[in-house]
Structure 1
């Protein structure tokens, strides 16, 4: 399967539909989805000589914000929309 890289223009187009003051997060690791705070944008040249822009998380301990919200993981097709069934009340001794 061939992958097509998202370009800076594609990212700008997608972000332009959102309020500029909205915090930007990075969802990582589809098998254990976590949310990360973005801190840096770095431009470099890759091994093929192509210019590439990297989005990077910060280095602080609070950069990883915790689990990615379930609805985001579903939207990314990293998880199925099925939730565990609600828990039933526990039975008590004596049948109460």
Structure 2
């Protein structure tokens, strides 16, 4: 099964509607949702000879910026927001 890949042209179109001064971040793994600072755009050739463009994160230790905002996580994972289960009262040493 082949998966469609976004082309540079398909990326430029939605980016053209964005604020040009906004920072660009990569949203990684919506099930462990983290944001990463984008540092490089690198063009290369894949094993089939096709030109590909890689969006790379930086090498600094502060490249991973933390958790994605919940609305981004929901949009990327195509599922509803997940809430942590309510906490149960702690038991005391006497079992009560």
Q: Which TM-score band (shorter chain)?
A: 0.7 to 0.9
- List structure 1 runs of 4+ shifted beyond 3 angstroms: 84-87
Q: How many residues align?
A: 90
For structure 1, the residue ranges without an aligned partner over 5 or more in a row are 88-96
Residue equivalent to 1:25: 25
Whether the 8 Å contact between 2:31 and 2:77 is mirrored in structure 1 is: no
3-state SS of 2:54 partner:
strand
Displacement of 1:71:
1.1
Secondary structure in structure 2 of the residue aligned to 1:61: coil
Shift of 1:78: 5.8
Distance apart, 1:80 and its partner CA: 2.7
Q: Which runs of 5+ in 2 are unaligned?
A: 88-96
Q: What's the RMSD between the two structures over aligned residues?
A: 2.2
